[in-house]
Amino acid sequence: MNDTNINHNNFNRQLLKLSIPIIIQNLLSAAVSSCDVVMLNYVGQSSISAVSLAANYSNVLFMVYYGVGTGASLLCAQYFGKKDLKAIHIIEGIALRFSLVISLLVALIAFTMSDKMMQIFTSDPELIRIGASYLRIMGITYLCWSITEVYLSILRSIGRVTVCMILNLLAFVLNIILNAVFIFGLFGAPKLGAAGVAIATASSRLVELLGCFIISFFSKDVRLNPRFIFVRSKSLLKDFIRLSLPALGNDVSWGVGFAMYSVILGHLGSDAVAANSLVTVVRNIGSVFCYGIASAGTIMLGKTMDEGKLAQSKEYASRMLKATVVASIFGGLAVLAASPLIMRFASLNDTAMHYLKYMLLINSYYITGSAVNTALIAGIFRAGGDTKFGLICDTIDMWLYGVPLGFLAAFVLKLPVLWVYFLLCTDEFVKWPWVIGHYRKGEWAKNITRDDIS
């Protein structure tokens, strides 16, 4: 009994130690998005709507990097437990190859066909024009992001969360300052509006990439070295593909499906898009604590499974899940508490304000649905290398339920905007029976490392 209490206390301390920097990172990320919306709020509703739609490409790319980073971090977390830095560097090179190829392709499209990228989401000429100018500049961001996200994912997987937090803090503070400079034309800079947001983001990501190289230069373990891209290992490549491709497919399937929700709302009018852009920022802030706990718990679970303590990993997973649920409930209450302030601040027309009021209410409970699935699918299951379940579950949920239901409600039944939004926000709860059932089976608890990587 005493040993159990000691283990639980140690788990709680380690979870708190890892969670705090991750939560701060998530808060900083949400703060930047908030500042984008706050500043664009004074430029005009069209700028908010256009940037919100164009940002769907960044969201999908983030899911790509998250999927690639998942395969890398799962392996690196367990190989770090074995102090095998050679394996970690080989995995880093594999992940960089994948992310760079994808980013180069998307950046090329953004540079040359940004108008057509916007036409997928809206037919409004003004939104297309504003969004296209934003996307052309964001191509630079995609290239930087492909490197920094992989490297930071690996650093987080070995517990270097404080370093990641510092780099993110540097980038996010710079992003906020440059947002103000280029959106409003401060200090003699041109007044660029939505394009200023893209310039600020690209500049801050360039600085973050430079920071990664500086940190790497002084690092005694995991480094960021272009030479790792050319190192080969058939066994590790096989493991990476086995773990990463389902995770990548899962995240891309979910990310593109979620972007289709924006397509649906985009064709229902700019009022719905503008309201949803504000709601997304508030929801992200309300979710930071539960996602931070889930991310920290995943790192700990990977290390515990590498040590062969599979029974203990299941106990840790249970505690992590409970903590995530509690955090999500508090997050939902925070959304409710902040709603009057958001309504007072927003400079939207009457129709958009009406949408905003009820969208905030829906998201006060939607946070819990999303947090539980994220903690289990992207956290607990992946820590043990179980990435296929999430791919199958999310693909069925998004493409056989959520997206068809949204198109049916919006364009066939022609339901009011808020009814369409409500139906779209049932997607996370529909998955619960299968996701929770899979968790209870406990088959996800596995050691995924190799003893010989030659």
Tens digit of pLDDT for each residue in 81-121? 677 788 888 888 999 998 999 999 999 999 999 999 998 88
With respect to residue 437, please indicate whether it lies within any of the assigned structural domains: yes
CA distances from 366 to 363, 411, 422 (A): 5, 24, 10
Torsion of Cα atoms, 412 then 368 then 24 then 221, to 10°? -90
Residue 416 belongs to some domain of the structure: yes
Spatial separation of the C-alpha atoms in residues 164 and 172, rounded to whole Å: 12
pLDDT of residue 36: 67
Domain assignment of residue 148, given as a range: 2-441
68 vs 12: which has the higher pLDDT: 68
The pLDDT confidence band at residue 1, using thresholds 50, 70 and 90, is very low
Per-residue pLDDT reduced to its tens digit, 392-411 = 999 999 999 999 999 999 99
Chain centroid to Cα 376, Å, comes to 15
pLDDT at 454: 47
Q: With respect to residue 452, please indicate whether it lies within any of the assigned structural domains.
A: no
Q: What is the pLDDT of residue 294?
A: 75
Residue 453 within a domain: no
Does residue 446 lie in a domain region?
no
Supply the pLDDT for residue 308: 66
Q: Is residue 447 part of a domain?
A: no
Residue 280 pLDDT > 50, yes or no?
yes
User: What DSSP designation does 42 have?
Assistant: T
Q: Is residue 454 a part of any domain in this protein?
A: no
Question: Comparing C-alpha atoms, which of 122, 137, 145, 114 is closest to residue 53?
Answer: 122
Mean pLDDT across the stretch 263-285?
A: 84
Give the number of domains in the chain: 1
Task: Quote the percentage of the chain above a pLDDT of 90.
Answer: 24
Domain assignment of residue 134, yes or no:
yes
